[in-house]
Amino acid sequence: MPLVIAIDGPAASGKGTLAKRLADHYGLPHLDTGLLYRAVALALLDAGLSLDDREAAARAAEALDPEKLDDPRLRERAMGEAASRVSAVPEVRAGLLLWQRRFAADPQGAVLDGRDIGTVVCPEAEVKLFITASSEERARRRHRELAGRGETASFAAILADIEARDARDAGRAAAPLRMAGDAVRLDTTELDADAAFDEARGIVERTRGSAR
């Protein structure tokens, strides 16, 4: 039976790093679904269109080119904020849903991380993780990440951005960020990357074992 691991959580919680490591460990393809929304936002900005143009955003989602998911601009801080805005558009989420489900249907399984994987995209996933951390710790991580890339931003500004994104992601009408009822919560506030991976891998193994 294919192993599908659904990983959700707020920005900078460490879910992306965990998803990549779990995918490598189990030899599964990985999809950072946040890149899809960033790509939609970037397509609008490149075309000189407003992020609030719902019709244009829906068209961009339908025409998404997976080859453009490697664009380094998608990793920039501003694109995270832009993606949060377009992800609140129901038509965008609907346009990307089938794309994500096709990815998850890989015969060998898959690891997907995002905001609504366990609740909407892959509600039947064998393993569901909800990764979280305090907003202050997530802001510190993002601050270190940006500094490592040579980008400058104050800790206060990053914290404000994270809290605003949390509120928008949890409060949107379409597929809000929430923990699936059968997901396992993992708080990484006090964990380094290796410890978080060990905890996550243990959850996967225990969940698979109980399913058998």
Pick from 50, 70, 72: which is nearest to 60 by CA?
Answer: 50
Tell me how far apart the alpha carbons of residues 32 and 40 are, in angstroms, rounded to a whole number: 14
Q: Residue 20: what residue type?
A: K
Residue 101 domain-assigned?
Answer: yes
Query: What would the pLDDT profile of 123-151 be if each residue is shown by its tens digit?
Result: 999 999 999 999 999 999 999 988 888 88
pLDDT for 39 equals 96
* Count of structural domains, the chain: 1
Residue 70 domain-assigned?
Answer: yes
The DSSP element (H or E) to which 111 belongs, if any, is strand 109-114
Residue 192 domain-assigned?
Answer: yes
pLDDT at 117 over 70: yes
56 Cβ contact list (under 8 Å, min separation 6): 44, 47, 49, 50
> Is 16 annotated as contributing to ligand binding?
yes
Query: What would the pLDDT profile of 29-88 be if each residue is shown by its tens digit?
Result: 999 999 999 999 999 999 999 999 999 999 999 999 888 899 999 988 889 889 989 988
Residue 44 domain-assigned?
Answer: yes
Start-end of H helices in 27-121:
34-46, 54-62, 77-86, 90-104
Length of the chain measured in residues: 212
> Is 15 annotated as contributing to ligand binding?
yes
Residue 42 domain-assigned?
Answer: yes
pLDDT for 212 equals 59
> Is 17 annotated as contributing to ligand binding?
yes
> Is 48 annotated as contributing to ligand binding?
no
Least confident of 36-50, 106-120, 158-172: 158-172
pLDDT for 147 equals 87
> Is 11 annotated as contributing to ligand binding?
yes
> Is 34 annotated as contributing to ligand binding?
no
Residue 212 domain-assigned?
Answer: no
Q: Are 57 and 51 in contact (CB under 8 A)?
A: yes
pTM: 0.91
CATH code assigned at 130: 3.40.50.300
Q: Which domain holds residue 175?
A: 3-207
> What average pLDDT is seen over the chain?
93
The DSSP element (H or E) to which 186 belongs, if any, is strand 184-187
Query: What would the pLDDT profile of 3-34 be if each residue is shown by its tens digit?
Result: 999 999 998 999 999 999 999 999 999 999 99
> Is 209 annotated as contributing to ligand binding?
no
pLDDT at 211 over 70: no
Tell me how far apart the alpha carbons of residues 126 and 118 are, in angstroms, rounded to a whole number: 10
Q: Are 83 and 34 in contact (CB under 8 A)?
A: yes
Query: Sign (positive/negative) of CA torsion 178, 84, 141, 122?
Result: positive
Residue 86 domain-assigned?
Answer: yes
- The HSE-up count of residue 72 (CA atoms within 13 Å, CB side) is 1
Residue 181 domain-assigned?
Answer: yes
pLDDT for 152 equals 82
